[in-house]
Every structure is written in C-alpha cells, then in structure tokens.
Chain A
Amino acid sequence: DGGITQSPKYLFRKEGQNVTLSCEQNLNHDAMYWYRQDPGQGLRLIYYSQIVNDFQKGDIAEGYSVSREKKESFPLTVTSAQKNPTAFYLCASSIVGGLSGYTFGSGTRLTVV
C-alpha cells in the first residue's frame, strides 16, 4: 500500500540534544512537507520541498533543518536552537504544486525533557 511512514511514533530527548525525525513516502510524490501541531494552533508549516535537493522555509523554520537527498525521504532535524520543541510533528506529501491536497503520515510525538 502506498503511504507515508513516520518513525518513531514517540520520541524522548534531553534538552540541548539534536534529534532527527524520519519521513518516507512511496507515493511517488515530488513535494514533501513538515508541519508542527500544537493544541489550539492547528498545523503550522516548518519546511517544504517541491523537488529533490531543494527546500524552502515555512512559517516557523527557526530551530529546524531538513534535507532532501532522495525523492522518497525528507528527514527533519530539531536542533537545540528550537526553543519549544515538544510537539506533534506531521509529514505530508503531494504531487507538484500540491493543489489537490496532501497525504499525511501518522506523526511523531516529540517530548524534550
């Protein structure tokens, strides 16, 4: 079945450590996205990539980094510079342009202690 796989489902890290969240898709989609979900704030866009080896900052990119070396993969690193990293992180993908909507993964809940 085609879909998006995010791993792990739950992640715990100590403050000050960088952590990388995995996102893999087998939908043959060109575009991939990372969102952060916080209660009462909906989903906010962190980074997105429309094509391999290219990506753009979203609305809340500070303290995050990404890479897009393969079409299928779009890992997100939460760095120690992110002031409030504890959140639910959602990865999504779409055809180029994304005008018909996105397909979402099941998310990773990151807790920094």
Chain B
Amino acid sequence: AQSVSQHNHHVILSEAASLELGCNYSYGGTVNLFWYVQYPGQHLQLLLKYFSGDPLVKGIKGFEAEFIKSKFSFNLRKPSVQWSDTAEYFCAAIMIYNQGGKLIFGQGTELSVKP
C-alpha cells in the first residue's frame, strides 16, 4: 500500500541550528510531494510542493526540500531555525495513478526550537 513515512517524531533544536526532516514515500510511479506546517493552534499551511522539474524546491519562510527519486525521499531543510519555527511538520504525497489523487500524510514531526 502507498504510504508516507517521517522518521523523526520529535526534534529539539536551538535557535540558529540547521534543520533536516526526513520523509520517504512508497510508490514506484509519479508522485506530487508536499510539506505542510501546523503552528500551535493554527490550521495546516502549505510550506512547499514538488511536481516536476528542478528537484530542489524553495518554499516560504526560508524552507527548502530536495526530491531524490532514487531514494524515494523528499527531505525538508532550513539552514538556520528560529523560535517561531516551532510547529508540527507534515510530509504528504499524492501518488498519481488515476484522475483522482488522495493526499496521504506522514505521521508528522514535532519541532521544538529553544531560544
């Protein structure tokens, strides 16, 4: 069955540290990939997305992600985190196999940034 896995459940960093959150998907066909963020008490917001083309995509708030097809991965990175990045991060994928795509989410990674 198609699935999305996030390996880190809870990450704790100090401000200015670099961030990398892992995401892998299990599907051999074409995928559209997304990272969403959920700040405390707020709704899900789209950070960035990858459909095709340059595998390095840049999103809002200084985040970027790299699609590595051979590794079925779409890791999220930020060179220097801030306290305001404290949130839960979700990787998601639409495995394209018919006209209707269902967005499948990973388990989420809670990021805590210490000031």
Contact = CB atoms under 8 A, between A and B. Distances in A.
Interface of A: 31, 33, 35, 40-45, 48, 50, 58, 90, 92, 96-102, 104-107
B22 interface: no
Task: Give the interface centre of B32, B49, B100 by most chain A CB atoms within 10 Å.
Answer: B100
Interface stretch (B61-69, B75-83, B105-113): B105-113
Given A42-B107, A106-B43, A97 B101 contact: yes
Given A42-B108, A101-B46, A105-B43, 10 more contacts: A43-B90, A48-B102, A90-B43, A98-B94, A98-B100, A98-B103, A99-B51, A99-B101, A100-B32, A104-B36
B44 A104 contact: yes
Contacts of B104: 45
Contact of A106 (B42, B92, B100): B42
A52 to B, nearest CB: 15
